[in-house]
Amino acid sequence: MPVWSMPGSELLRRALLRAGTADAAPWTSTAPQAPLLLLRADHVYDASLVAGLARRPGTLLCRPEDGLPVAAHLTDTALAASVAAALLAGRPAGDPAFAGLLPARPADLADLYNKALRKRANPYLLRLDAGTRRAVEWEMFGGSYKGVTDAITKHVWPRPAFQVVRGCAALGITPNQVTFASLLLVFVALWLFATGAWLPGLLAAWVMTFLDTVDGKLARVTLTSTPLGNVFDHAIDLIHPPFWWLAWIYGLSAVGMPLAHPAAVGAIVFGGYVLQRLQEGLFLALYKMEIHVWRRFDSFFRLWIARRNPNLLILSLFTLFGRPDWGMLAVAAWTVFGCLEQVVVTLQAGLARRRGPLRSWLEG
């Protein structure tokens, strides 16, 4: 059964290779050398779950809803044929073929807190068939989403991004190709802002932010992310926003709406962006966690902090009312407030650490 326009067995093969297995191939009734992982290909496994199973020899992975075994990590290949037959037949965990294997649920093999995606969630283990395919893809897509991010990415983009990710997968469009398209739009928006073409510039910018959501999700659900692709994507995200704001300020002068103190406002939005990033790096170095995952309020504030998407929202609203200049002043004020807020959070964390180690609220 295909998922994301590829056979489920291919998705499983990619997950196994990412988990560090030496080889991954369909079962042929001939067991290779031990250790050996056997997994039913009519299920979709969270990548963290496959990695967790690979680290646990002698484990029998069972579905959480009914306890049915679907995968096993064997250390004795002499048992492979009987275990494979029992898995395919859908026999219960108490079947003699599974003797010596320790049953485990997904939550036993993978942490509920995903540090990379900044969220707490159960690793998925989903049955894949014609009736569940769409629901499985939606579950996988949700699993690829960061838990702590801005409000637009979290609440506006998911549904349309899901459809575009499905389309990209069907057409064979790669995450890096999507990222490259977003890079082109970075320069298009920059030029339009600098010429005072606010609405076309905002359209290009919003499409760019949408594609920035699509490329990462496409890479995660199809297991096609690469180190180079990650660097490419994150470098674009990190570098371009303050240059958009400077172009906006320049564009205000180009259309006869100059700010009273454009250099000062430019220094605030550019320097404030850099300062916020440095503050986040300092917090991570001091407390070994990201600043926006410490407390529930910090995660809530991340929805609206003066980063690219919230700033674009501010600029869009003011532009619709005919005051793009006020929009930039609002962005500058919000940037100053965001910097001060992060200083306060960093100091509060230092005081809290005196009473004991800091833990993210997402860790439970």
pLDDT band at 265 (very low <50, low <70, confident <90, very high): very high
pLDDT higher than threshold 90 for residue 316:
yes
pLDDT higher than threshold 90 for residue 165:
yes
Closest CA to 344 of 294, 308, 304: 294
Domain spans of the chain, in order of start: 2-109, 150-363
pLDDT band at 20 (very low <50, low <70, confident <90, very high): confident
Q: Which fold has domain 150-363?
A: Four Helix Bundle (Hemerythrin (Met), subunit A) (1.20.120)
pLDDT higher than threshold 80 for residue 32:
no
pLDDT digits (tens, 9 = 90+) for 278-308: 999 999 999 999 999 999 999 999 999 989 9
pLDDT digits (tens, 9 = 90+) for 122-135: 899 999 999 999 99
| Least confident range of 110-119, 210-219, 288-297, 338-347 | 110-119
What is the DSSP code string of 195-242?
TT-HHHHHHHHHHHHHHHHHHHHHHHHTT---HHHHHHHHHHHHHSHH
Q: Give the three-class secondary structure for 125.
A: strand
pLDDT higher than threshold 80 for residue 34:
no
pLDDT higher than threshold 90 for residue 199:
yes
User: Mean of the pLDDT values across residues 215-225?
Assistant: 94
User: Mean of the pLDDT values across residues 34-58?
Assistant: 92
60: phi then psi, degrees, rounded to nearest 5: -115, 110
